[in-house]
């Protein structure tokens, strides 16, 4: 039987979501906790990989389990007791056997945070960047992302991508209403390339500080030349914030693993 699980994590201590042979990963950490509680070897399949140091406020994964009689609410409670402090589970629920956390995802959302003043409470959750930025210019440039499909300019070299085509549906900057010194960038697409968002953020920040004009940003985007993009923004400010699924995926709102 198959179950979906939603969780959040601080990625600072991990090589990313995906299991690696010589470094701690979020996937391995969650698999060990589930295997311990369910008393069987459990493999967890995530909605996608996040890079080293990248965080998630709402990550989705699935796992298969043969054990019966487990209460999902209790499983969440016990998982959170044994997982490290930088990983938290919000929910576990049963889905159809065909549901797949990665392949059934139709859109993913990432959020990037920039703190424009020194803030000790955001040192692990935002890029502390104190240069004043023109948010209006950055938004004007970001519009071009929704009108373009080939993101080779922002694709990490030697990533073995079958294609660099992505369909961005939203790319927008805003100031936090509660904290005017906090800038928030939200980007949604059907898929993302490795380091793509951090490279986009770094280049848009260069637009905001006046290094590039909006027209120059568009030229960089269309050039399909990675060497023309700016240095990537730090991983600390990047969060996977949502994963959306096709309505055909059958979710069962059951509380018990049976």
Average pLDDT over residues 134-146: 98
**Which tokens sit at 226?**
């990675």
User: Between these two residues, 249 and 243, which has the higher pLDDT value?
Assistant: 243
Q: What local confidence, expressed as pLDDT, does residue 180 receive?
A: 86
Domain pair 2-103 / 106-241, same fold = yes
Q: Which of 140-144, 170-174, 193-197 has the lowest mean pLDDT?
A: 193-197
Residues 75-123: pLDDT tens digits?
999 999 999 999 999 999 988 889 999 999 999 999 999 999 999 999 9
Beta-carbon contacts of 129 under 8 Å, excluding residues fewer than 6 positions away, are 114, 115, 116, 205
Q: Full-prediction pTM beyond 0.75?
A: yes
pLDDT band at 1 (very low <50, low <70, confident <90, very high): confident
Segments making up each domain of the chain, as ranges:
2-103, 106-241
β 105-115/182-189 pair status: antiparallel
User: Between these two residues, 247 and 128, which has the higher pLDDT value?
Assistant: 128
Average pLDDT over residues 53-71: 87
CATH number of 106-241: 3.30.70.660
pLDDT band at 70 (very low <50, low <70, confident <90, very high): low
Q: What local confidence, expressed as pLDDT, does residue 246 receive?
A: 80
Catalytic residues: 51
Beta-carbon contacts of 198 under 8 Å, excluding residues fewer than 6 positions away, are 51, 112, 232, 233, 234, 235, 238
Average pLDDT over residues 26-45: 96
Q: What local confidence, expressed as pLDDT, does residue 257 receive?
A: 43
Neighbours of 73 (CB within 10 A): 12
- Whole-number Å distance between alpha carbons of 174 and 68: 47
Q: What local confidence, expressed as pLDDT, does residue 71 receive?
A: 85
Average pLDDT over the chain, rounded to an integer: 92
- Whole-number Å distance between alpha carbons of 154 and 227: 9
% pLDDT > 90, the chain: 83
Q: Which fold has domain 2-103?
A: Alpha-Beta Plaits (3.30.70)
Average pLDDT over residues 212-233: 96
**Which tokens sit at 191?**
């898929």
Q: Does the structure show a pLDDT above 90 at 25?
A: yes
Q: Does the structure show a pLDDT above 50 at 256?
A: no
% pLDDT > 70, the chain: 93
């Amino acid at each position: 039987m198959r179950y979906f699980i939603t969780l959040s994590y601080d990625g600072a201590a991990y090589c990313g979501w995906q299991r690696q042979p010589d470094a701690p990963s979020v996937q391995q950490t969650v698999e060990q906790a589930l295997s311990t509680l369910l008393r069987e070897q459990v493999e967890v399949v995530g909605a996608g990989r996040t890079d080293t140091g990248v965080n998630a406020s709402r990550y989705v994964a699935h796992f298969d389990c043969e054990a019966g009689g487990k209460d999902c609410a209790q499983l969440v409670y016990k998982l959170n007791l044994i997982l490290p402090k930088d990983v938290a589970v919000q929910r576990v629920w049963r889905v159809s056997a065909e549901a797949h956390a990665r392949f059934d995802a139709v859109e993913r959302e990432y959020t990037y945070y920039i703190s424009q003043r020194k803030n000790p409470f955001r040192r692990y959750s935002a890029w502390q960047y104190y240069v004043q930025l023109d948010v209006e210019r950055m938004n004007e440039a970001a519009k071009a992302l929704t009108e373009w499909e080939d993101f080779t300019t922002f694709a990490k070299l030697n990533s073995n991508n079958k294609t660099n085509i992505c369909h961005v549906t939203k790319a927008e900057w805003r100031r936090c209403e509660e904290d005017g010194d906090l800038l928030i960038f939200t980007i949604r697409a059907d898929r993302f390339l490795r380091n793509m968002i951090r490279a986009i953020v770094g280049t848009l920040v260069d637009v905001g500080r006046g290094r590039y004009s909006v027209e120059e940003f568009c030229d960089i985007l269309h050039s399909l030349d990675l060497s023309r993009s700016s240095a990537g923004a730090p991983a600390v400010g990047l969060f996977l914030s949502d994963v959306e699924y096709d309505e055909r995926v059958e979710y069962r709102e059951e509380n018990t693993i049976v």
